[in-house]
Chain A
Amino acid sequence: MSLLEVVDLSKHYAGRPSLGDRLSGNRRTLVRAVNGVSLSVERGEILGLIGESGCGKSTLGRAILRLHEPTGGRVVFDGTDVTALPPQALKAMRRRMQIIFQDPYASLNPRRTVAEIVGLPLALHGIASGEEARAITARVLERVGLRAAQLDRYPHQFSGGQRQRIGIARALVSNPDFIVCDEPVSALDVSIQAQIIALLLELKRDLGLTYLFISHDISVIGYLSDRVAVMYLGDIVETGQVAAVLDNPRHPYTQSLLSAVPEIGAKRARGRVRLQGDLPSPLNPPPGCKFHTRCPLAVPACRTLVPETRGVGPGHSAACHRLEEGLSLLEGAR
């Protein structure tokens, strides 16, 4: 059985109506940040969740942890329905499900020492206190490549990469099984990014962790994930084994995403597709297939009918009306 099973999860926000909406008597605007997403994460795997800003990938990660209360659907973690847990049980569950944040500056309280920040879960869950807590904290700190002597320092005394290590230590200290990594390397310089990625992979291997790794960077996702899910405006448009999705992307959005990544190396193997236009506003998503406004393959049916998710290979599925035709933007552009 999967460690994490997300079924039809949605998170809607009541948006503030614009003046135009008010005048036309249209009171409610609803942002469907996550729109009925289903996915599963197996024990010990890394599921890469990729998408552009505003596609709802961070909201999905937070809704899974109930940091943002989901509007609908279920999250089943190791057989327990997390969405139905009362507050006390949820608090206990937080020991096992953790999160690492994007911004190494905003995610650490500037007024607290490293010992206090990393040791917080120990105190909150009554795992350890006093000297024992300090010893555990020191051990975890060394595990992520910092020194025990740095326990009593404040966050501003560390560099961005070191701060991200502190954030990782905080997520690890309660011995979780599952960690949502929300763009953990996006804010870091290239050389530091590589250090953190190597650390995350090493920790995963040694501690038997499972990650949901959220990123906008297809290179990072492609490098470290086992499976990939591609998100566009609140929907998952394609999922599959990383090799299948990257080598044989079936959804036109995935195809254009792949071809937009600048590549190092003399010749690019694939053709290139340039998407026209911008991401539509999630306040007012297009009807039918949400991608049709930018899709070079769109046909009239795409404007009205929402495509269903269909299997296109072993464990590989996509949501597009024109899958059967076997069209590829990449082929056409070659």
Chain B
Amino acid sequence: MTVLLEVTSLRTEFATRAGLVRAVDGVSLQVRRGECLGVVGESGSGKSVTFASVMGLVRSPGKVVAGTIFFDGRDLRQLSPEEMRAIRGRDIAMTMQDALTALNPALSVGEQMAEVMVAHDETLPAGRAARRAAIRERSVEMLGLVGIPSPDTRLRQYPHEFSGGMRQRIMIAIALTCRPKLLITDEPTTALDVTIQAQVLELISDIRARLGMAVVLITHDLGVVAEHCDRVMVMYAGQVVEEGPTSAVIGQPRHPYTRGLLASIPRPALRGHRIEPIMGQVPDLVGLPPQCRFHSRCPLARPECLVEVPMLPAGPGRQARCLRLEEPA
């Protein structure tokens, strides 16, 4: 598989009242064609900001200050806003966590899908009627693809007429209208109930296989990653702390944070045993010294850890940002 997206040493900063926040600090990652990358992290880990940076959608006062973002051979950071707009929605699409606020309540679903096609699709026929028919045909096809029953009538309906799970499907359908090479889904199931969540995740996996696109699944739920992703990247306080094939990372986590995260998940099987929470909380990202960011919560921390730690090889296709990888937990 060839590399579709390659981000190197990305840094995104927010100038806040409290000071400069490095929300993303030296993140490097790769997404190969057709693969599913899971990005796991808690709030404040920088997982959403990383991909907002890729999309060129970082909101003021945030700013991408360093790094390269190569997508399909082009550095997205060097593109003009117009060129970037052309890529967004056509080659890279994104869905948001909250489908209700991400969809425009004043436009019907069909109109919102048509907008994307009109903006990006040069292959649409020239004639007005033919154009309209083509758009309609494609919209019906897309809604059908995401499993919405009787798509031709539902095309005329407005977002509020759909349930939460259906709205998430519609957002995916809109994202897919131009057959993007990369779909970034930001917490696609967090707002949904478990039974609906399972449907949506299966849909994403299914469509990925059928269209052969790459998917980035941003989530806080390791269970979701375990079931749906080829590779996983764990983020903590603006940095990648561990990265590798999903089964390896989840089966044998190497970084103490990944380990702590897995141990924190309550499971019926653990009844009666104490779950081992990670003590303390995420550090304040303002003015962090260049040292291991997890050391204040780390059971393995030693004075030597107070240095800047690079990503170190941690097995086949794996890396982790920890000096004590070789030692048992």
Contacts and interface: CB of A to CB of B under 8 A. Distances in A.
Interface of A: 52-53, 159-162, 189-195, 197-198, 216, 218-220, 222-224, 242, 246, 256-257, 260-266, 274-276, 278-279
Interface stretch (B16-24, B81-89, B120-128, B258-266): B258-266
Contact of B195 (A160, A219, A257): A257
Given A194-B277, A262-B201, A274-B198, A189 B43 contact: yes
Contacts of B265: 190, 194, 219, 264
A219 B221 CA distance: 12
A257 B275 contact: no
B26 interface: no
B303 to A, nearest CB: 24
Given A159-B281, A222-B271, A194 B264 contact: yes
Contact of B277 (A198, A218, A262, A278): A198
A224 B195 contact: no
B193 A261 contact: no
A195 B279 CA distance: 7
B220 interface: yes
Contacts of A192: 42, 277, 281
Interface in B208-233: 220-224, 226-228
B281 A222 contact: no
B329 interface: no
Contacts of B251: 266
B197 interface: yes
B194 A261 contact: yes
A263 B265 CA distance: 11
A266 B247 CA distance: 7
B271 A279 contact: no
Please name the 4 residue pairs, one residue from A and one from B, whose CB atoms are nearest each other, closest first. A222-B268, A262-B223, A194-B277, A223-B266
Given A194-B278, A274-B202, A264 B266 contact: no
Given A194-B278, A216-B194, A275-B199, 7 more contacts: A53-B193, A189-B42, A190-B261, A192-B281, A257-B195, A260-B194, A260-B198
B258 to A, nearest CB: 11
Contacts of B116: none
A260 B264 contact: no
A256 B271 contact: no
A162 B222 CA distance: 23
Contacts of B245: none
A223 B42 contact: no
A264 B277 CA distance: 17
Interface in B45-95: none
7 contacts: A159-B281, A190-B264, A190-B265, A218-B268, A223-B268, A260-B195, A264-B267
A191 B199 contact: no
B194 A198 contact: no
B271 A242 contact: yes
B325 interface: no
B319 to A, nearest CB: 21
Contacts of B247: 266
Contacts of A52: 193-196
Interface centre among A52, A161, A189, A260 (most CB of B within 10 A): A189
A260 B281 contact: no
